[in-house]
Structure formats: structure tokens, C-alpha cells
Amino acid sequence: MPGPSPSAAWWAQRAPSASAAVLATGTLAVGLGLAGYGVLSRITLGLACAAWLMLAADFTLRLLLAGTRWRAYAAVPGLLDTVATAALTTVAATAVLGTGFSAAGSQSLAAALLVLAVLLWPVPPALPAQDGERRRPGTVFARCMATQGLAVLGATLAAAESAAWLAHAALVLFWLGLVLYVLALARFDVRQVAEGRGDHWLAGGALAISALAGARLISSDSARMYLWNDDDRGVLRHVTVVLLVLALAGCAVLLAAEFLRPRPRNDIRRWATVFTWAETAAAALAVAAALDVSWLDGLGEVLLWVAVAAWLGATAWAVASARTYVLPGRIRSRGRR
């Protein structure tokens, strides 16, 4: 019986981690939209949506083929942890896509994605932990990112639909996300700053998406809804500014560590690095609009084009990796005929 095609084998190895690419691409679309690049934002959002649909189809197929074998898979060391991280990243990616569609005016589709993300959100924490409390790589921040992604989308939809209840629900998720960040930071292996292969950047990306959530919550308020009193708004403003400053400082530290301790750049985990740049840019642009700080617009746009360059580099590497893996495989299969 012939084995799987080279392209299918290549995708099977990368699908569990590909949700980070969807998340990075969707976040870039949101950032481009905030900067006023509507056409580029829609193109990028379309690419993210296509990749998301591929992941959804792949997950459904794997689930159908697994049947009752999931108990055997659960015994594989570290497998459930990988699945949980991929699922949480998918929740965040789904929420980011919803935010992009909401900004494009598709509120019904954004609401449907919010419902889907909320339904998926409790599943990963229900999976049993396999590795106790040992120090973890940057993926430990995935739970915080998923929660803040829901907060961003909830606040965005609340502003678009004038739904006060949704804004208050997003506020609860915002504070919960900050608690989850602190818990994740306590488990994060700080040696990853000097040794990580890309996903250690999520330590900064989680701060950036938290800052974006805070900015969206501030912007969701209006005279019609009157969501926050002066004290509430003051707390939100201060916390959001602190989160943005920490995200910018985190990017500076992580970038300096990359220069001081160079490491291989060609790794699928580099999509987490792309996400962090794109999310920090989006957070700076959103905070600039929410707090009327004009100079942050310039900083946000600089970070945005850095993120675009990083995205192009990661995409070029992914295409080259696919060509390197798939073409020799096809040549070998033809030679056996």
C-alpha cells in the first residue's frame, strides 16, 4: 500500500503548530486595518481565513480518523500538552479573525467566530497536564493569549453593536487574562530568552494582546452606553499604558537577546515571533487611538512594517521548506515506479 504523498506528510508534521501562523497573519491584518491600510488588511485577512479553514478541515479529519484511538494518543508523553497549546492558539486565532471581520463591517460573522471561540476556550484547560510544574517554554502564555483574544473581540463587538453586557463580559476576561499571565510567568523558563527558537517571544506577545484588549475596552465606551465611570476609566487607562510599556520593553529585551545569542531563525516557532511584532504594533496603534496619543501612531507604524518584514521572511521560509520537502519526495516516488 503506498504511503502518504510528500505534501500530505509535510503538512501532517506542521499542522499542529500552524495555528501560530494563522494567529500571526490575522493579527497583522488587524494592525494593517488600524493603520489605515484597508486593502492590504483585507488581503491579509483573507489569507488568514484560508489558512484557518485548512486547519479546521485538518482537525476534523484527524478527529474522524482517530476514532477510539485517542486514549492511546493520550499516553504519548507531551502529546496532550502539544494539543492543548495548539487548541489555545487556535482559540486566539479565531478571536483575532473575528476582530478583523468586525473591523471590516461583518458583525454577524464576527459574532459567530466569538461564539465558536468561547465554545472552544474551556476545552484545553480540561485536558490533564502531563509534565507537572516544571519550567516551560513560551507556549505557557497561550492560555493568557486565548483569554485576551476573547476580550479583544468582545470589546470590539460591544462597540460595534452597542452591547454593554458584552463589554462587561470582555472586562472580566481582561482581568482574568492578566491573572493567567502572572501564573504563566511563574512557570516560564527564563533561560528561553537566550535559548528559545521563537516561541519565547510569546512572553511579550501576551502583554501586547493584553494592552490591545485594554485599549479596545476604553474605546468601546460611549455616551450612549456609559460603560465606565471616571475611576474605572482611570484604572483601565493606567493598566493599559503599563501593559504597553512592558510589551515594548519586552520586545527590546528579546531583540537584544537575539543579537547577543544568535540562534537558528528557520523554525516554525518563529511564527510566534511574527505574532509578537504584529501584536505590539496593533497595541501601540490602538492605544494611540484610545488615549489620543499621536506620537504612538508613528511608533506603531514602524513596528507594523517590521512585522510585515518578519511575516514575509517567515512565509518565504515556509514556502522554501515545503519545496525542499515535497519535491525530493515526488522525485523519489517517481523513481520507484
- Asked if pLDDT for residue 236 goes beyond 70, the answer is yes
CB-based contact 94:116 (threshold 8 Å)? yes
Q: Report d(CA 301, CA 306) in Å as an integer.
A: 9
Taking only the tens place, the pLDDT of each residue in 176-217 is: 999 999 999 999 989 999 888 888 999 999 999 999 999 999
Q: Report d(CA 279, CA 201) in Å as an integer.
A: 11
Predicted local confidence at residue 80, as pLDDT = 56
Predicted local confidence at residue 33, as pLDDT = 95
The grid cell for 149 is 483574544
Q: Does 240 reside within a domain?
A: yes
Residue 160, domain extent: 6-125+134-318
Q: Does 333 reside within a domain?
A: no
Predicted local confidence at residue 229, as pLDDT = 83
Q: Does 110 reside within a domain?
A: yes
Q: Does 326 reside within a domain?
A: no
Between residues 27 and 135, the one the model is more confident about: 27
Between residues 268 and 242, the one the model is more confident about: 242
DSSP β-bridge partners for residue 211: none
Quote the number of domains for the chain. 1
Q: Does 48 reside within a domain?
A: yes
* Band (317; pLDDT cuts 50, 70, 90): confident
Q: Does 334 reside within a domain?
A: no
CB-based contact 170:155 (threshold 8 Å)? yes
Among candidate residues 270, 206, 277, 215, the one with its CA nearest the CA of residue 240? 215
Q: Does 1 reside within a domain?
A: no
CB-based contact 121:150 (threshold 8 Å)? yes
* Band (77; pLDDT cuts 50, 70, 90): very low
Tell me the CATH number at 257: 1.50.10.150
Q: Does 327 reside within a domain?
A: no
Grid cell 491573572 in the structure block, residue: 179
Taking only the tens place, the pLDDT of each residue in 208-230 is: 999 999 999 999 887 677 788 88
Rounded to two decimals, the pTM is 0.87
